[in-house]
């Protein structure tokens, strides 16, 4: 049981690191002068970015961190939720500091990114 929790923690850390990297990258290119994308375009964009991040992780580390079938199913449910809550926490932190926030700094978009990443890894990791 402890081994499965550690494996899920590894997947969570991987997803969170990638999500924060994307968030920093998006903040670096954020422009106040452009009109923001609509919600549907944002949903599609974050899902695609999450899937691409999943493929990149497979290129770097093709093995699944979680090896048991039950653990992988639990990971698919739990890890995106935790990543979404973590990104909502980042968004709240940015708000408290008076910094600009992006959609990925909200639970739903952070969850969507992490879910797309997790689905790619769930389906294709060894």
Contact 100, 78 (CB under 8 A): no
pTM for this model (two decimals): 0.86
Considering 11-15, 63-67, 118-122, the range whose residues carry the highest mean pLDDT is 118-122
Check residue 31 and give its pLDDT.
64
Q: What is the pLDDT of residues 21-49, one digit of tens each?
A: 998 888 787 766 667 778 999 999 999 99
Check residue 3 and give its pLDDT.
79
Three-state DSSP class for 87?
helix
Q: What is the pLDDT of residues 70-99, one digit of tens each?
A: 888 988 999 999 999 999 999 999 999 998
Check residue 126 and give its pLDDT.
81
Check residue 75 and give its pLDDT.
87
Q: Where are the domains of the chain?
A: 2-26+38-124
């Amino acid at each position: 049981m402890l081994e499965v929790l550690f494996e899920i923690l590894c997947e969570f850390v991987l997803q969170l690191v990638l999500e924060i990297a994307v968030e920093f990258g998006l903040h670096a290119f954020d422009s106040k002068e452009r009109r923001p994308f609509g919600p549907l375009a944002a949903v599609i964009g974050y899902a695609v970015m999450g899937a691409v991040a999943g493929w990149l992780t497979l290129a770097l580390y093709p093995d699944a961190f979680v090896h048991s079938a039950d653990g992988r199913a639990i990971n698919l449910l739990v890890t995106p939720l935790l990543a979404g809550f973590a990104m909502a926490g980042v968004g709240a932190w940015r708000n408290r500091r008076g910094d600009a926030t992006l959609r990925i700094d909200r639970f739903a978009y952070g969850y969507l990114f992490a879910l797309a990443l997790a689905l790619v890894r769930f389906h294709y990791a060894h």
